[in-house]
Structure 1
Amino acid sequence: MAQTIRGVIFAYLASLISAQQIVSSQGTVAATPETVTLAAAVVPATGVELFQWEALQLTQSVLTNLTNLELTDAALFNFPTTSSASTSQCKVFPGDANWPSNATWEVLNLLTGNALIKTVPLAAPCYSSWPEYNVTACAAITASWSDPHLHANDPTSTQWPLYEGLTCLPPGLRSEDTTCTLGGYASYSIEITNVAQIQLALNFARNLNLRLVVKNTGHDFADKSIGAGALSLWTHKLNDLKFYPHYVYGSYSGPAFKLGAGVETADVYLAAEANGVTAVGGECRTVGLAGGYIAGGGHSPMSSLVGMGADQVLSMEVVLPNGKFVEASATTNSDLFWALRGGGGSTFGVVTSLVVQAYPKIPVTTMTFSYAISSTLSANTFWSGVRAYMTYFATFTDAGTYGYFNIVPNASGNLAFTFDPFWGGNLTKPQLQTLVAPFLKDLSNLGIPVTPVFTQYESLYPAWNASFPPEVVGGFNNHAASRLFPRENFENSTLLNATLAAVRYAIEGGGILVGYNIKAATNPFANQNNSVNPAWRKTLTHFILPGLWSNNATFAQIQNVSETMTNDWMVKWRAVSPGAGSYMAEGDINEPNFQQAFYGSYYPQLYALKQQLDPYGLFYAPTAVGSEDWYITGQIPMRSPYVAVVGGGCAL
Structure 2
Amino acid sequence: MAIRGVAFVCLASLISAQQINSAHGVIPATSGTVTPAAAVVAAKGNFAWESVQLTQSVLTNLTNLNLTNIALFKYPTSTAASTSQCKVFPGDADWPGPVTWEILNILSGDALIKTVPLAAPCFTSWPEYNATECAIITSSWSDPHLHVANPTSAQWPLYEGLTCVPPSLRSEATNCTIGGYAAYSINVTNVAQIQLALNFARNLNLRLVVRNTGHDFADKSVGAGSLSLWTRNLDSLEFYKDYTYGSYSGPAFVMGAGVETADVYLLAEQNNVTAVGGECRTVGIAGGYIAGGGHSPMSSLKGMAADQVLFMKVVLPSGEFVTASATENPDLFWALRGGGGSTFGVVTSVVVMAYPKIPVTTMTFSYSISSTISADTFWNGLGVYMKYFPTFPDAGSYGYFNIAPNAAGNLTFTFDPFWGANMTKIQTQALVAPYLSDLAKLGIAVTPVYTEYQSLYPAWNASFPPEVVGGWTNHAGSRLFPRENFVNATLLNETLAVVRHAIEGGAILVGYNIKSAVNPHANQNNSVNPAWRETLTHFILPGLWDADATFAQIQNVSETLTNDWLARWRAVSPGAGSYFAEGDINEPDFQQSFYGSYYPQLLAMKKEFDPWDLFYAPTAVGSEYWYITGQIPYIPTQNGRLCRKT
TM-score by length of 2: 0.97
Equivalent of 1:531 in 502, 527, 532: 527
Tell me what 2:626 maps to.
630
Equivalent of 1:389 in 382, 385, 388: 385
Query: How far off its partner does 1:34 sit?
Result: 5.7
Q: Which runs of no fewer than 5 residues in structure 2 stay unpaired?
A: 1-5
Tell me what 1:409 maps to.
405
Tell me what 1:648 maps to.
641
Tell me what 1:227 maps to.
223
Query: How far off its partner does 1:649 sit?
Result: 1.6
Alignment of 1:156-555 (within 5 A): 156-555=152-551
Look up the SS of the partner of 2:16 in the other structure.
coil
Does residue 108 of structure 2 align to residue 115 of structure 1? no
- AA aligned opposite 2:41: V
Cα deviation, 1:550-606, whole Å, max 9, x if unaligned, reads 001111000000000000001100000000000010000000000000000000000
C-alpha separation in 2, matches of 1:407 and 1:238 = 37
C-alpha separation in 2, matches of 1:501 and 1:640 = 28
Does residue 6 of structure 2 align to residue 10 of structure 1? no
Tell me what 1:39 maps to.
37
1:5/1:40 contact within 8 Å kept:
no
C-alpha separation in 1, matches of 2:634 and 2:375 = 36
C-alpha separation in 1, matches of 2:364 and 2:83 = 58
- AA aligned opposite 1:11: A
Cα deviation, 1:326-354, whole Å, max 9, x if unaligned, reads 00000000000000000000000000000
Cα deviation, 1:28-58, whole Å, max 9, x if unaligned, reads 9632246431111000115xx1100000000
- AA aligned opposite 2:159: Y
Look up the SS of the partner of 1:393 in the other structure.
coil
1:484/1:583 contact within 8 Å kept:
yes
Query: How far off its partner does 1:88 sit?
Result: 2.5
- AA aligned opposite 1:41: A
C-alpha separation in 1, matches of 2:221 and 2:175 = 23
C-alpha separation in 2, matches of 1:317 and 1:618 = 19
C-alpha separation in 2, matches of 1:415 and 1:322 = 53
Tell me what 2:136 maps to.
140
- AA aligned opposite 1:14: I
Cα deviation, 1:263-307, whole Å, max 9, x if unaligned, reads 000000000000110000000000000000000000000000000
2:23/2:66 contact within 8 Å kept:
no
Q: Which runs of no fewer than 5 residues in structure 1 stay unpaired?
A: none
Tell me what 2:600 maps to.
604
Look up the SS of the partner of 2:199 in the other structure.
helix
C-alpha separation in 1, matches of 2:99 and 2:155 = 32
Cα deviation, 1:431-466, whole Å, max 9, x if unaligned, reads 000000000000110000100000000000000000
Cα distance, 1:620–1:307 mapped onto 2, change above 3 Å: same
2:8/2:40 contact within 8 Å kept:
no
1:77/1:203 contact within 8 Å kept:
yes
C-alpha separation in 1, matches of 2:273 and 2:28 = 53
Equivalent of 1:566 in 562, 569, 576: 562
Does residue 592 of structure 2 align to residue 591 of structure 1? no
C-alpha separation in 1, matches of 2:397 and 2:533 = 16
Aligned Cα RMSD in Å? 1.5
- AA aligned opposite 1:40: A
Look up the SS of the partner of 1:150 in the other structure.
helix
- AA aligned opposite 1:178: T
Query: How far off its partner does 1:178 sit?
Result: 1.1
1:486/1:580 contact within 8 Å kept:
yes
2:74/2:199 contact within 8 Å kept:
yes
- AA aligned opposite 1:232: S
Tell me what 1:131 maps to.
127
1:21/1:30 contact within 8 Å kept:
no
Query: How far off its partner does 1:92 sit?
Result: 0.6
- AA aligned opposite 2:15: A
1:240/1:263 contact within 8 Å kept:
yes
- AA aligned opposite 2:463: S
2:23/2:67 contact within 8 Å kept:
no
2:401/2:511 contact within 8 Å kept:
yes
2:22/2:67 contact within 8 Å kept:
no
C-alpha separation in 1, matches of 2:475 and 2:140 = 22
Cα distance, 1:137–1:34 mapped onto 2, change above 3 Å: farther
C-alpha separation in 1, matches of 2:63 and 2:84 = 25
1:15/1:106 contact within 8 Å kept:
no
- Residue identity (%): 75
1:365/1:455 contact within 8 Å kept:
yes
C-alpha separation in 1, matches of 2:475 and 2:623 = 21
- AA aligned opposite 2:28: A
Cα distance, 1:539–1:568 mapped onto 2, change above 3 Å: same
Cα deviation, 1:469-516, whole Å, max 9, x if unaligned, reads 000000000000000000010000000000000000000000000000
1:33/1:114 contact within 8 Å kept:
no
TM-score by length of 1: 0.96
Look up the SS of the partner of 2:219 in the other structure.
coil
Look up the SS of the partner of 1:178 in the other structure.
coil
C-alpha separation in 1, matches of 2:590 and 2:379 = 30
Tell me what 2:3 maps to.
none
Look up the SS of the partner of 1:72 in the other structure.
coil
2:344/2:606 contact within 8 Å kept:
yes
Query: How far off its partner does 1:648 sit?
Result: 2.1
Cα deviation, 1:391-440, whole Å, max 9, x if unaligned, reads 00000000000000000001111000000100000000000000000000
Equivalent of 2:54 in 55, 58, 71: 58
C-alpha separation in 1, matches of 2:405 and 2:501 = 15
C-alpha separation in 1, matches of 2:34 and 2:457 = 44
Cα deviation, 1:122-151, whole Å, max 9, x if unaligned, reads 000000100111111111100100000100
Query: How far off its partner does 1:644 sit?
Result: 1.7
- AA aligned opposite 1:295: A
C-alpha separation in 2, matches of 1:311 and 1:140 = 41
- AA aligned opposite 1:477: T
C-alpha separation in 1, matches of 2:363 and 2:159 = 36
Query: How far off its partner does 1:20 sit?
Result: 4.3
2:234/2:348 contact within 8 Å kept:
yes
